[in-house]
Structure 1
Amino acid sequence: MARAGLTQQIVTTHALDVLDAAGPAGLTLKAVAQRAGVAAPSLYKHVRSLEDLRVLMAVRVLTEAAERIGAAVMGLAGDEALRTFLREFRAYAGQYPHRHTLLESPPPAAGEHGPALEAASAHLVEIAFATVRGYGLTGDDLVHAVRALRAVVVGFVGLEHSAGYLLPTDLDASFAFLTDLLAAGLNRHAHPPGTQDRA
């Protein structure tokens, strides 16, 4: 018998709880149903398949990450915005290491939830654009900068959570060092030496 009040949103919440607790390998419709206190067939009233549920989960994760990071960088520009974006992205991944995988590797945007997934992904990317736009970059340079930003944080976080850093040197210090390098590079690219002298 289905639990009263079960909705697509509640099923998605239970699925994320399962993901947090058991990781991607433990995410099954049976596990979600057990978490929700219903029989597995009851879930089909709300989601069509496990892949359908993964899309809903990705929409939720992308949305909550965008809201968190967007709120943190709002009103900031330049190095301050960059450092805040990187810090909040890493903090989110640290709090939800399994959800983080849905940020950069979401399921294909197919089916009825495809448009919502594309919109949620675009929102997070636009926050990245807004973050680096404060350096005065435009055109292809702006795109390159966003790609660099994502590569830096996704690469660092991915290695951090896969135990890719084996030396005992403090990871926070390494992250701060990497952030400084990116900030310095963007500033140098946006304002090459000698440009202010010619102004």
Structure 2
Amino acid sequence: MSKNEPLLQYLSTRRSTPALQLTEPGPSRAEIESMLTLASRVPDHGKLAPWRFIVLRGEQRKTLGSALLEIALKKTPELSPEQQEVERTRFTRAPLVIAVVSRAAPHVKIPEWEQVLSAGAVCLNLFMAANAHGFAANWLSEWISYDENAKALLGIAAEEQVAGLVYIGSTTFPSTDRPRPELSDIVTWIGEE
């Protein structure tokens, strides 16, 4: 089997772009649908599709940001004006935010853990699909992923979990990398070389 050099190059340089560095233009509706199609091509034991997507774009993100600020202020009334602005603009940092929602649940044959891992794979596939379409991305969780009121605001049921919020847009910032682990620190070899 021959090597796929472009894919190897991509994987060797893949990195996240901070959400605050993501700008317009964002993807079109057709590009978003393509990304979602590619994102859902993951290992899925039992073909359960134990995940779903919530696509956040346009002016509605500002309305959601104001509602998130209200939730944040109820929890922490002493938020500074700067912190309030962070909450108000949380979903407008990038032209597009896609929530990947895990619907993992007990199943007679498929372990719940495998369903959770499948949702994580969706997040990474979505990230890579955004890159493949020429966009930068960042996979985040943030406090709203764990707050029941914030989840309800997004239409996420109590038994569902946010696997990730994938921020997608364009960027003009230079790509920089972070330190990566040494293989000797993370790999155990069992067997012959």
Whether these two folds match at TM > 0.5 is: no
Structure with the largest fraction of helix: 1
TM-score normalised by L of structure 1: 0.27
Which of these two proteins has the greater Rg computed from alpha carbons?
Answer: 1
The structure with higher relative contact order (CA 8 Å, sep 6+) is 2
Structure with the largest fraction of strand: 2
TM-score normalised by L of structure 2: 0.28
